[in-house]
Amino acid sequence: MAVTFYDLSSDAGLKKLDEYLLSRSYITGYQASKDDLTVYSAVPKKSLDSYVNVSRWYKHIDALLRISGVSGEGSGVTVEGNAPASDVATPPAVDTKTEEEKAAAEERAAAAKKSAKKKESGKSSVLLDVKPWDDETDMVKLEEAVRSVHQEGLLWGASKLVPVGYGIKKMTIMMTIVDDLVSVDDLIEDHLTAEPINEYVQSCDIVAFNKI
């Protein structure tokens, strides 16, 4: 489901975003995506010290844009000018951005779009942790179920079983993806932890995500 943020140029909007990012590293999913770029472009270029979580996230996305770019598709996010009356008790904030701030925001948006486009055909190497329900789970069938997922741009690699305690083992498995064809978030949510594979898989986490 798409996430919606309102009036990120206001203190009320930034406070809502700060609360949202309290337990999250990214706007949606487990990796930086176009959803982060959308929100990043809407955040005003000013001191964010009062919003610890927004400041942390903003600096991280800014660094990614400078170093490697952002290519994840995301789940969809909307940024609107004013919040509904039920969400914000005060009147809608007046746009007080200066022409310089508006120009800077437009430049950041253009840079974000250019970076995303440049990285569309890139590849990434991803290491997953796949955990079974208990020590009675058939790990051979678990691996077969995971490898049964086929998508254009997805190539499964080596795997191994790693003891985690109480007789339970998890499987770590490598995969190579084409960034603009495969979303790791969707792969986990729609396939690896969904029926029928969730008969064997309790959870699946990203351990490492590296651009090739």
User: Can you give the CATH number for the domain in which 127 is found?
Assistant: 3.30.70.60
Q: Are residues 131 and 69 in the same domain?
A: no
- Domain residues for the domain of 32 are 4-80
158 — pLDDT class (breaks 50, 70, 90): very high
Q: Output the average pLDDT for the chain.
A: 84
Is residue 91, in this structure, part of any structural domain at all?
no
Degrees to nearest 5, angle at CA 123 with 122 and 126: 145
Q: Are residues 66 and 139 in the same domain?
A: no
Contact call for residues 172 and 207 (beta carbons, < 8 A): yes
Q: Are residues 129 and 197 in the same domain?
A: yes
The number of domains in the chain is 2
Choose between 102 and 157: higher pLDDT.
Answer: 157
Degrees to nearest 5, angle at CA 102 with 97 and 108: 135
| Cα–Cα distance list, 205 to 7, 18, 96, 192 (Å) | 33, 25, 42, 10
Is residue 105, in this structure, part of any structural domain at all?
no
1 — pLDDT class (breaks 50, 70, 90): low
172 forms bridges with which residues in the sheet? 129, 160
- Domain closes at, from 80, 107, 137: 80
Question: What is the structure's pLDDT at 149?
Answer: 95
In angstroms, the CA 188 to CA 49 distance is 34
pLDDT tens digits, 20-40: 999 888 898 888 888 888 889
Confidence (pTM): 0.45
Longest dimension (CA), the chain: 64
Is residue 139, in this structure, part of any structural domain at all?
yes
Give me 35's structure tokens.
């959803």
Q: Are residues 131 and 206 in the same domain?
A: yes
- Domain closes at, from 80, 105, 132: 80
- Domain closes at, from 80, 108, 140: 80
